[in-house]
Structure 1
Amino acid sequence: MQAKEAADRLGITQRMLRHYEKEGLLDVSRTLNGYRCYSESDLRRAGRIRDFIATGFSTREIRAMSACLSDDGSGPCEGGVQKLTEKLEHIDRLKAELDEKRDAVINRLYLLKKGLILEKN
């Protein structure tokens, strides 16, 4: 199938499909006239790439987990569980930092509203 239909089925843009290819995550065959031709296997791989990106992985990180993108094997991909665990720990650290900042902003607002801190203009 051609890029437009593939993108529509995946819920992404054709530009994203080209980006996956440019980043070395997807190797798509071409027709004689040069159009990209996506197989069902390509769609599954692109769907996995899309899902990893949606969970916060960069294309560099995904490239390092290429075994997790193929249809080969059964069960978890090599290193996949570890990489997902590391990503979750990273997200939890970021969330904790944001929660601290949020609490600081709420405290500052409270003090400003009570007039305990004078704003400088």
Structure 2
Amino acid sequence: MQAKEAAERLGITQRMLRHYEKEGLMDVSRTFNGYRSYSETDLRRAGRIRDFIATGFSTREIRAMSACLSDEGSGPCEGGIEKLTEKLMHIDRLRAELDDKRNAVLERLATLRNGLSALGTDP
């Protein structure tokens, strides 16, 4: 199938499919006239790439997990659990940092509101 139909089936753009290929995540065959031709295996691989990106993985990280992209790697794959665990830890660190920043903003907001209240001007 051609790129337009493949992209529609995956819910992504043709540009994203080309990006996956450019980043070395996919090797898509070509027709005699040079058009990309996606097989069902290619679609499954692209779907896995899309899902990894949606969970926060970069194309560099996904490339390091290439064993998890093939049909053989759709279940347990070498390094998959380790990489997903690392990603989860990274997300948890980011979340904690955002919680700290949020609390700092809330404290500053409370201080400003209390200051205005003391002056007799409520926001």
TM class, shorter-chain normalised? over 0.9
Matches within 5 A, 1:2-81: 2-72=2-72, 75-81=75-81
Which of the pair has more CA radius of gyration? 2
Normalised by the length of structure 1, the TM-score is 0.93
Alignment correspondent of 1:119: none
* SS of equivalent to 1:115: helix
**Corresponding letter in the other structure for 1:9:** R
| Alignment RMSD (CA, Å) | 1.1
Q: CA 1:44–1:74 in structure 2 vs 1: closer, same or farther (change >3 Å)?
A: closer
Q: Which runs of at least 4 in structure 1 moved beyond 2 Å after TM superposition?
A: none
Unaligned runs of 5+ in 1: 117-121
Counterpart-to-counterpart distance in 1, 2:19 and 2:54: 15
**Corresponding letter in the other structure for 2:70:** S
C-alpha displacement of 1:74: 6.7
Alignment correspondent of 2:82: 82
What are the Cα deviations for residues 54-103 of structure 1, in whole angstroms up to 9, with x where unaligned? 00000000000000000125731100011000000000000000000000
Give % identity: 84
Decide which moves more: 71-80 or 52-61: 71-80
What are the Cα deviations for residues 13-52 of structure 1, in whole angstroms up to 9, with x where unaligned? 0000000000000100000010000000000000000000
Equivalent pair of 2:41/2:71 in contact (CA under 8 Å): yes
Equivalent pair of 2:30/2:36 in contact (CA under 8 Å): yes
Counting matched residue pairs gives 116
Unaligned runs of 5+ in 2: 117-123
Counterpart-to-counterpart distance in 1, 2:64 and 2:85: 15
Which structure has greater helix proportion?
2
Normalised by the length of structure 2, the TM-score is 0.92
* SS of equivalent to 2:75: coil
